[in-house]
Structure 1
């Protein structure tokens, strides 16, 4: 298991998230949704304006994971309706399977408090991510239609209960 330095970033660091997305998305999603869809989706979802609006208007917080000074992944999360929503959780292909996704989730949970139930969206085609989230105690709650720009997909909403604080 690798150990990453995980740092919460402000708006000035969002270019690091965008730069990682430009590498991670084509590598991971091309086989799932087609390479032709990736550039416009990433351009829209990972523009600095969109990421900044996530922070300013929707209350998202962002973290960057680094190993030996090199950025290797990112995550974002927010609280809504009593749930801790993990919005983004991505790692470079070269570091997957090293326990870093678990570290990112733990960092998010420690920041917000482990008592909150967690929820996230994951593509119904993303078998690798679904298996990872199941290994972390998430279960499928529902299948939801999702629209990203002009593109329509189906995502699972996966959930995990919060922890009960002991006296």
Structure 2
């Protein structure tokens, strides 16, 4: 983690986040959801205009992790009343298990506490056993498991997990 820098995302870095999202999703999700759903979710959640508008919204916060010139991870959180949602946390597959995800999660937790959040919550695909195990390791507990209809004939089969702050 020594040479990894974490900071709040700037508009100039949005394209790098979108590119990393595509890389990580293509390495993670084809065994869990269809390519059509991957493409639809990437197009929706990583549209540059959407991220840009979130950067200007005080209820949203984005972080980026960089090593040298390479983008190696990112996180996004949303204030949701007395809870904050960890909406996205991804680390490049070649840089996982090096403390980057933990550092991003720490930044999100600090931000959530500053927002007077009492709980941090997230949704994670039930089949993403590596991510589920990581979140359990960091103190999250599974509060429910269900299928969420996200439109266009797609669903997310997720655990909802929470961490008291």
Distance 1:120 1:156, change over 3 A: same
Which residue does the alignment assign to 1:116?
Answer: 118
Matches within 5 A, 1:33-112: 33-56=33-56, 59-112=59-112
Which residue does the alignment assign to 2:160?
Answer: 157
Does the 8 Å CA contact 2:78/2:85 hold for their aligned counterparts? yes
Distance 1:94 1:143, change over 3 A: same
CA drift of 1:43 comes to: 1.8
Which residue does the alignment assign to 1:165?
Answer: none
In structure 1, the gaps of 5 or more residues are 163-167
How large is the Cα RMSD of the aligned pairs?
2.1
CA distance in 2, matches of 1:133, 1:44: 25
Normalising by structure 1, we get a TM-score of 0.85
CA distance in 1, matches of 2:124, 2:130: 10
Distance 1:26 1:148, change over 3 A: farther
Q: What per-residue deviation string (whole Å, max 9, x for no partner) do you get for residues 60-101 of structure 1?
A: 211110112311111001211201211100011101111111
In structure 2, the gaps of 5 or more residues are none
Stretch deviating more after TM superposition (71-80 or 129-138): 71-80
Q: Does 1:14 align with 2:20?
A: no
**Aligned residue pair count:** 162
Normalising by structure 2, we get a TM-score of 0.86
